[in-house]
């Protein structure tokens, strides 16, 4: 079978439209959340286990690295939430056209940047 379709597997040269970027980021944020749940559940279990465990988790969460990880997980959660709301709105039939999809993607990125920056200010 001789296909006329171009084959480009070099990820550095592939140019995704903004709708593809937001879709990809939505999937990546879901993976980050899935992996981060394990970390957060471990910290919760340790903090609820004993008074010493609580003190250890509290001391760990005051470090800059832990704050950065918490901000990263919160950022993934916020982006995933905003993009998920966009998907729910599209399920109602709003923004299903190409122009609507592009506008919705721009709105998702703008709102996500704002809430992620606010979350960073809140954590730091």
C-alpha distances (whole Å) from 53 to each of 23, 35, 38, 65 are 39, 22, 17, 19
Triad 58, 37, 64: Cα angle to 5° = 40
Q: What is the number of residues in the chain?
A: 124
Enter the tokens of residue 54: 């609580």
Give strand ranges (E) for the chain.
Answer: none
> Does residue 87 have a known ligand-binding role?
no
Distance between CA atoms of residues 102 and 88, nearest Å: 16
Binding-site residue positions? 80
Which residues are annotated as part of the binding site for heme? Answer: 80
């Amino acid at each position: 079978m001789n296909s006329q379709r171009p084959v480009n597997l070099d990820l550095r040269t592939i140019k995704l439209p903004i709708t593809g970027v937001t879709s990809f980021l939505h999937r990546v944020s879901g993976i980050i959340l899935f992996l981060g749940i394990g970390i957060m559940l471990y910290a919760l279990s340790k903090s609820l286990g004993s008074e010493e465990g609580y003190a250890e988790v509290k001391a760990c969460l005051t470090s800059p690295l832990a704050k950065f990880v918490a901000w990263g997980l919160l950022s993934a959660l916020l982006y995933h939430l905003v993009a998920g709301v966009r998907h729910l709105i599209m399920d109602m039939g709003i923004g299903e056209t190409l122009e609507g999809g592009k506008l919705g993607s721009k709105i998702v990125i703008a709102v996500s940047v704002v809430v992620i920056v606010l979350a960073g200010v809140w954590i730091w």
